Amino acid sequence: EPEVTQTPSHQVTQMGQEVILRCVPISNHLYFYWYRQILGQKVEFLVSFYNNEISEKSEIFDDQFSVERPDGSNFTLKIRSTKLEDSAMYFCASSAVLAGKPRSYNEQFFGPGTRLTVL
Amino acid sequence: AQKITQTQPGMFVQEKEAVTLDCTYDTSDPSYGLFWYKQPSSGEMIFLIYQGSYDQQNATEGRYSLNFQKARKSANLVISASQLGDSAMYFCAMSDNNNDMRFGAGTRLTVKP
Q: Beta strand B74-79 with A109-110: parallel, antiparallel or unpaired?
A: unpaired
In angstroms, the CA B62 to CA A92 distance is 27
What pLDDT is stored for residue A71 in this prediction?
86
In angstroms, the CA B34 to CA B80 distance is 19
Q: Which residue in chain B has the smallest CA separation from A41?
A: B105
Question: How does residue B101 score in pLDDT terms, banded at 50, 70 and 90?
Answer: confident
**DSSP letters spanning B32-83:** EEEEEEEE-TT---EEEEEEETT-SS--EETTEEEEEETTTTEEEEEE-S--
- Spatial contact of B15 and B80, defined as CB atoms under 8 Å apart: no
B70-100 residue pLDDT tens: 999 999 999 999 999 999 999 999 987 666 7
> Residues B48-77: what's their mean pLDDT?
94
A73-107 residue pLDDT tens: 899 999 999 999 999 999 999 988 776 666 667 78
B6-31 residue pLDDT tens: 999 999 999 999 999 999 999 888 88
Q: Beta strand B10-14 with B107-112: parallel, antiparallel or unpaired?
A: parallel
Pick A97 or A54 by higher pLDDT. Answer: A54
Q: Quick check: B50 contacting A, CB < 8 Å?
A: yes
Cβ neighbour number for residue A59 with a 10 Å cutoff = 8
Between A and B, how many residue pairs show a Cβ–Cβ distance under 8 A? 80
Q: Quick check: A5 contacting B, CB < 8 Å?
A: no
Q: Which residues of A touch B98 (CB under 8 A)?
A: 55-56
Backbone φ and ψ of B86, nearest 5°:
-80, -10
Position B107 pLDDT exceeds 80: yes
Q: Quick check: B10 contacting A, CB < 8 Å?
A: no
Tell me what percent of the residues of chain A surpass a pLDDT of 90: 71
Q: Which residue in chain B has the smallest CA separation from A102?
A: B31
- ∠ CA(B5), CA(B10), CA(B12), 5° rounding? 130
Q: Which residue in chain A has the smallest CA separation from B94?
A: A104
What pLDDT is stored for residue A30 in this prediction?
87
What pLDDT is stored for residue A96 in this prediction?
85
